[in-house]
Amino acid sequence: MAGNSGPADWHAMTTGDMDAVVAIADVVHPGFPEDRKVLAEKLALHRDGCFVLRDRADDAAIGYLLSHPWSADSAPPLNRLLGRLPAAEVYYIHDIALLPAARGLRAGERALALVEAQARALGLDRIALVAVNDSGGFWQRHGFSPVKGGHWPAKLSSYGADAAYMTKALPNRIA
């Protein structure tokens, strides 16, 4: 199991999970719709960074995580196929989407631990994301900082007016 603790566990995503992923995305991100093929491409391009949160009681999917290596100082536009991943400079969180049933389970924190492990496995020392829907406070509490610059409004136009590009440096581990 990928990230287990409590009444719900993170599991490696499979192509069979796509119906659930699309359904969760429709509920959690109605203002940021993405086509099924766009979500499925993330899994195809970087399977190691894709997970589904399953309720232990009934095995229902109640959340998902999509993440992958990416280039620094950039954010992939929403609802667009990537084609391929660029040279890895940062580890990018495309989405952590949690249904109301997942609230209070610390699923977001456990997802972040999975992301950090993936970044480290690839030798990357920084994680990046675009915070939307007033989620910046959550990310700041977990060590992310907004990145400012004149080019960001144009780069984030598909993410909405409150979007903020944020990064987190992973501390060096002492062996």
Ordered by start, the domain boundaries in the chain are 3-124+149-161
Q: For 3-124+149-161, give the CATH class.
A: alpha beta
Sequential pLDDT tens for the chain (175 residues)? 455 557 899 999 999 999 999 999 999 998 889 999 999 999 999 999 999 999 999 999 999 999 999 998 888 888 999 999 999 999 999 999 999 999 899 999 999 999 999 999 999 999 999 998 888 888 999 999 999 877 887 888 888 888 899 999 998 765 4
With 0-12 / 13-18 / 19 or more C-beta atoms within 10 angstroms meaning exposed / middle / buried, residue 102 is: buried
Nearest to 172 by CA among 89, 108, 116: 116
Strand positions, DSSP E, 8-133: 8-12, 50-55, 61-70, 90-98, 126-131
Record the pTM.
0.91
In contact, 141 and 108? CB cutoff 8 Å: no
